């Protein structure tokens, strides 16, 4: 026998039995974004490696050790996207969209990071991503946070908490950086290996360490908020007032930073205590310097990314995941001539009711076998088409999810009867909804 090919480490399949939760999340996501006037943006999964190096920064986990990068046959240096913001910013510049001045977009899809796989942390994972370009004021910061809050609320998720902070202007950040180097430098012996490496490259990242042994030292570090410039402080206060007036609970977390280099001013995270170590479900912030860093005319931006796997885990854990989709109808076909007639009937019914979920019995089988399959499918109704029924011009109808007796319905009326039984909408209604 041929050797079985295993999946790659840290990648996973979404099985048909699990896909309903994903589709539910994706449907609600589309609705919520539409409700705020955000348009979908689809960007490539592969980009030039340089894009991520230049935007995310050299001293970040992603660029240091997590990128899936390769040189292709044409000697192009390519990386599988580890996140969406850099690609969207690149696409804004490449397509001349920045000339439009202000844009609010979202995107959804797979991301790739070569991390140590564990529950809630994968090498191929999925993100929902929101981005807004061209807005200076704290109103957009508030809107984009409200949007994430609404999405989580619409999904019914509880046990999530919003943390906010400000990183100030690049100048403030630079001064704060020196402060941190001073503080952590004075405690060299207490630093773990990662932190020691980051000390001079990206000391802000030390604050983001997940190592429990580092937490005491981090708690004593200087606070960002104390170092803020007047304008950033006003921006941050206005943002807080906005989200408070919208009734969103939040907590100011002065040591919250983001792992990526391009953030300025507002940063925020939604965390949960329900997923163990992988506690961040959504994270984002303002990146006013990014577009210029990528060679575009300077333009402010802000965005967030939500980890879909972690959201699906929460949905499942909190009993909010939709169950698998069941067919409405299982079509039982008995007798020599019923197969052709059955296919024809099935197509007619699908023409009449675009929303109808009809599964046809394939490969024959006795009446009893087919009924067993019908039950197993979870269908609400079985339609029975046999040679005997065909000669009399009728179809058998039996409800499967409750005690019932089989009825007969003239073929000419079966479509209407099914529509009424299932509350189906015709073509027009189905396309409008
Ligand atoms: P972490 O600190 O957990 O590594 P991060 O700062 O690297 O997160 P971001 O780049 O901000 O994460 O990504 C936003 C969100 O995407 C995270 O909050 C998380 O929900 C999700 N995410 C990031 N990396 C992974 C991964 N490897 N597997 C699954 N989800 C992920
Ligand atoms: Mg990470």
- The distance of Cα 354 from the centroid of its chain, to the nearest Å, equals 28
Three-state secondary structure readout of 395-417: EEEEECCCCCCCEEEEHHHHHHH
Report the DSSP pairing between strands 251-252 and 103-112.
unpaired
Ligand 2 center from residue 82 Cα (angstroms):
10
Verify whether ligand 1 is closer than 6 Å to residue 113 (CB atom). yes
Sequence-ordered alpha helix ranges (H) in 258-377? 290-293, 308-317, 338-352, 367-377
Ligand nearest to the CA of 121: 1
Q: Whose CA is nearest to atom 24 of ligand 1?
A: 121
CA distance 229 to 227: 7
Q: Whose CA is nearest to atom 2 of ligand 1?
A: 280
Top mutation candidate among 65, 283, 284 for ligand 1, by most atoms within 8 Å of CB: 283
Nearest ligand 1 atom, CA 304: 14
Q: Which of 145, 146, 148 is nearest to 157 (CA)?
A: 148
What pLDDT, on the 0 to 100 scale, is given for residue 433?
46
Tens place of pLDDT for every residue, the chain, 433 residues? 899 999 999 999 999 989 999 999 999 999 999 999 999 999 999 999 999 999 988 878 899 899 999 999 999 999 999 999 999 999 999 999 998 889 999 999 999 999 999 999 999 999 999 999 999 999 999 999 999 999 999 999 999 999 999 999 888 888 888 999 999 999 998 999 989 988 888 888 898 888 889 999 999 998 887 889 999 999 999 999 999 999 999 999 988 988 676 788 999 999 999 998 889 999 999 999 999 999 999 999 999 999 999 999 999 999 999 888 899 999 999 988 899 999 999 999 999 999 999 999 999 999 999 999 999 999 999 999 998 888 899 999 999 999 999 999 999 999 999 999 999 887 655 554 4
* 412 contacts 348 by C-beta, under 8 angstroms: no
Sole residue written with tokens 């140590």: 116
Verify whether ligand 1 is closer than 6 Å to residue 104 (CB atom). no
Ligand 2 center from residue 430 Cα (angstroms):
42
Within 8 A by CB and 6+ apart from 49, the residues are 67, 69, 77, 78, 79
Ligand 2 center from residue 250 Cα (angstroms):
23
Predicted TM-score (pTM) of this structure:
0.92
90's torsion region: left (phi>0), alpha (psi -120 to 50) or beta? alpha
Verify whether ligand 1 is closer than 6 Å to residue 205 (CB atom). no
Q: Whose CA is nearest to atom 25 of ligand 1?
A: 121
Helix (H) or strand (E) run with residue 300 in it: none
What pLDDT, on the 0 to 100 scale, is given for residue 61?
84
> Residue 309 has which token pair?
């796997």
């Amino acid at each position: 026998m041929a050797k079985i090919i295993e999946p790659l480490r840290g990648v996973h399949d979404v099985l048909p039995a699990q896909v309903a939760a994903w589709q539910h999340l994706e449907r609600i996501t589309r609705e919520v974004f539409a409700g705020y006037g955000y348009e979908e943006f689809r960007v490539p999964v592969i980009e030039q490696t340089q894009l991520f190096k230049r935007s995310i920064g050299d001293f970040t986990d992603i660029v240091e050790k997590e990128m899936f990068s390769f040189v292709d046959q044409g000697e192009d240096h390519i990386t599988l996207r580890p996140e969406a913001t850099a690609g969207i910013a690149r696409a804004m510049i490449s397509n001349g969209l920045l000339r439009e001045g202000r844009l609010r977009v979202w995107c959804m899809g797979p991301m790739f990071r070569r991390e140590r796989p564990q529950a809630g942390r994968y090498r191929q994972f999925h993100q929902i991503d929101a981005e807004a370009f061209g807005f200076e004021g704290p109103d957009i910061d508030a809107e984009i946070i409200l949007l994430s809050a609404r999405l989580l609320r619409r999904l019914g998720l509880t046990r999530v908490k919003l943390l906010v902070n400000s990183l100030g202007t690049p100048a403030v950040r630079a001064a704060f950086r020196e402060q941190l180097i001073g503080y952590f430098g004075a405690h060299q012996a207490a630093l773990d290996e990662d932190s020691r490496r980051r000390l001079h490259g990206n000391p802000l990242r030390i604050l983001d360490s997940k190592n429990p042994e580092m937490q005491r030292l981090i708690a004593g570090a200087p606070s960002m908020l104390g170092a803020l410039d007047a304008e950033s402080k006003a921006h941050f206060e206005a943002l807080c007032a906005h989200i408070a007036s919208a009734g969103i609970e939040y907590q100011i977390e002065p040591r919250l930073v983001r792992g990526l280099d391009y953030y300025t001013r507002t940063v925020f995270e939604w965390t949960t205590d329900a997923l163990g170590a992988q506690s961040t479900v959504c994270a984002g912030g303002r990146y006013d310097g990014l577009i210029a860093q990528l060679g575009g005319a300077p333009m402010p931006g802000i965005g967030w990314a939500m980890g879909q796997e972690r959201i699906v885990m929460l949905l499942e854990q909190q009993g909010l995941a939709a169950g698998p989709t069941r067919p409405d109808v299982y079509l039982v076909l008995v007798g020599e001539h019923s197969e052709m007639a059955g296919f024809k009937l099935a197509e007619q019914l699908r023409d009449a009711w675009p929303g109808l979920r009809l599964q046809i019995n394939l490969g024959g089988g006795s009446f009893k076998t087919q009924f067993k399959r019908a039950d197993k499918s979870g269908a609400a109704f079985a339609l029975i088409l046999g040679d005997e029924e065909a000669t009399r011009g009728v179809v058998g109808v039996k409800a499967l999810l409750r005690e019932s007796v089989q009825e007969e319905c003239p073929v000419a009326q079966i479509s209407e009867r099914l529509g009424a039984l299932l509350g189906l909408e015709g073509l027009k209604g189905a396309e409008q909804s």
